[in-house]
C-alpha cells in the first residue's frame, strides 16, 4: 500500500513539474462546478472525444478537455481521514491525501483498470489542480501532490472535512 502511495505521489510530482499543475487562475468554459462538489475527479478526454466534454485552460496556456460527468465526488471520500504531509521534494509545500470510501475505491479501481495511460483532472474548489496520467490500476487514496503552501493545504483539509459532514 505504501509503495502504491509513493509511486502515485512520484507520478503526480512529475505531472506537476511538466504539466498543468497548481493554478489559482483557471477559468472553465462550460458549466461551473457546484459548491457542494469541493473536490471532484473527472476523466480528461482524448482528442476526438472533446464534443462530450468541457475545456479548461491551464496556466501554461494549454487547454485540457475534461468530461462533463464526474468520476469521483465528495460522496466517494472518507473525509474524516483527510490529511496533509510535507511534499517529499519540498518541505515548504504539502501533499493532500484523501482516503476513498469502499464505493469510491471500487469506482476508481474499475476506471483505472480500463484507462491506463489516460489522465484524470482533479479539481479543488472548482480549480483544476492536477492532471496525472494513470500508470497502473489504482484504488486510492486520492493523492494531490503539489505546490500547496502549508496554510493553504491545511485550509483545504479543513474544508474537505467540513463539507463531508452531514
How many structural domains does the chain have?
1
Q: State pLDDT tens for residues 104-156.
A: 999 999 999 999 999 998 888 888 888 888 999 999 898 887 678 888 889 88
Q: Specify whether the CB–CB gap between 145 and 100 falls below 8 A.
A: no
pLDDT recorded at residue 92: 80
H or E element, residue 118: none
The answer to which of 4-8, 90-94, 147-151, 162-166 has the lowest mean pLDDT is: 4-8
What residues are paired with 2 via a beta bridge? Answer: none
- List the 90-98 sheet strands across, edge first: 83-87, 90-98, 142-149
Q: Specify whether the CB–CB gap between 55 and 63 falls below 8 A.
A: yes
pLDDT recorded at residue 17: 34
Q: State pLDDT tens for residues 12-53.
A: 433 333 334 333 333 333 445 454 578 889 999 987 677 778
47: domain CATH number is 3.30.1360.200
pLDDT recorded at residue 71: 93
Measured CA to CA, the distance from residue 30 to residue 69 in angstroms comes to 12
H or E element, residue 154: helix 150-164
Task: Show the domain range for 62.
Answer: 2-164
Number of residues assigned to the chain = 166
- Of 8, 94, 19, the C-alpha closest to 58 is 19
Q: State pLDDT tens for residues 55-89.
A: 887 645 677 899 989 999 988 999 888 999 888 77
Amino acid at each position: 500500500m505504501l509503495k502504491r502511495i509513493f509511486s502515485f505521489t512520484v507520478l503526480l510530482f512529475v505531472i506537476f513539474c511538466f504539466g498543468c499543475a497548481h493554478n489559482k487562475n483557471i477559468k472553465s468554459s462550460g458549466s461551473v462546478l457546484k459548491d457542494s462538489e469541493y473536490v471532484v475527479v473527472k476523466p480528461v478526454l482524448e482528442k476526438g472525444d472533446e464534443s462530450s466534454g468541457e475545456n479548461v485552460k491551464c496556466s501554461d496556456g494549454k487547454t485540457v478537455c475534461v468530461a462533463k460527468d464526474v468520476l469521483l465526488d465528495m460522496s466517494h471520500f472518507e473525509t474524516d481521514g483527510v490529511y496533509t504531509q510535507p511534499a517529499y521534494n519540498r518541505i515548504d509545500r504539502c501533499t493532500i491525501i484523501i482516503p476513498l470510501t469502499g464505493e469510491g475505491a471500487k469506482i476508481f479501481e474499475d476506471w483505472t483498470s480500463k484507462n491506463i495511460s489516460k489522465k484524470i483532472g482533479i479539481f479543488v474548489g472548482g480549480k483544476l489542480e492536477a492532471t496525472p496520467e494513470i500508470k497502473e490500476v489504482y484504488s486510492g487514496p486520492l493523492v494531490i501532490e503539489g505546490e500547496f503552501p502549508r496554510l493553504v493545504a491545511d485550509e483545504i483539509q479543513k474544508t474537505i472535512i467540513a463539507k463531508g459532514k452531514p
